[in-house]
Amino acid sequence: MLTGLVVAACAALFLSRNWRVHGARARYAPLLHASELANAERIDEALEVLDGIDTRKLDQPTLLHWLGLRGYALALAGRGEEALDCLDDLASIADPDDKLSQLFLNGSRAIVAIADDRFDEAEALLDSTERACDDGANRSEVWWWRAELAAKRGDEAARRRCLEEAAKLGDAWYAARARKSLQSVAAT
């Protein structure tokens, strides 16, 4: 029962965070399900769902979403080379003015760069990601990853400032996650 409530809460957060940004693309049920799993930090399950989709049957907008979501999930899973290959495929067919594709491309590449200790590159990619944001939910995720970058650099003051910025941005999942992290730090 508790698992069902958690999944329902994650789905509600995802929809509130993403529906306005790319609602037309999220209507393909397996992509919506994979997004929910990724947002619930169930990355291996999200990748299983994504890998089970026959991409030959997808229209162009749905294929773009699939490539972006798969690249993002691979980046979160720490599979940087695979993520970059998937993102290169996305970049080869995406419209440079498509904000969702730019969010996936720059944001996922930033996650890989942070994991690989390429800090200057990660910072530039996060700046590009933030420019593509048009809502607080995506912006809170950018600030979350800025906090992760600061932590990898060993700058706890900057990490805290970034978490505070993320926490200010409403009820989005990464804003709530930042608030929880700040509470954990305050408790110690």
Sign of CA dihedral 111, 113, 118, 121: negative
What predicted TM-score, i.e. pTM, was given to this entire model?
0.82
Query: What pLDDT is attached to residue 3?
Result: 45
Q: Does residue 40 sit in the same domain as residue 85? A: yes
What pLDDT tens digit does each residue of the chain (188 aa) get?
Answer: 444 444 444 443 444 444 334 444 446 899 999 999 998 899 999 999 999 999 999 999 999 999 999 999 999 999 999 999 999 999 999 999 999 999 999 999 999 999 999 999 999 999 999 999 988 889 999 999 999 999 999 999 999 999 999 999 989 889 999 999 999 877 76
Query: What pLDDT is attached to residue 28?
Result: 86
Cβ atoms < 10 Å from Cβ of 131:
12
Residue 123 exposed, middle or buried by CB count within 10 Å (0-12, 13-18, 19+):
middle
Q: Does residue 113 sit in the same domain as residue 152? A: no
Please enumerate in sequence order all residues whose Cβ is within 8 A of that of 78, keeping only pairs 6 or more positions apart, or say none: 115
Q: Does residue 19 sit in the same domain as residue 89? A: yes
Q: Does residue 118 sit in the same domain as residue 68? A: yes
Q: What is the CATH number of the domain that holds 24?
A: 1.25.40
Q: Does residue 35 sit in the same domain as residue 117? A: yes
3-state secondary structure of 126: helix
> What is the number of structural domains in the chain?
2
Query: What pLDDT is attached to residue 27?
Result: 62
Domain that holds residue 145: 137-188
Task: Confirm if 71 and 87 have CB atoms less than 8 A apart.
Answer: yes
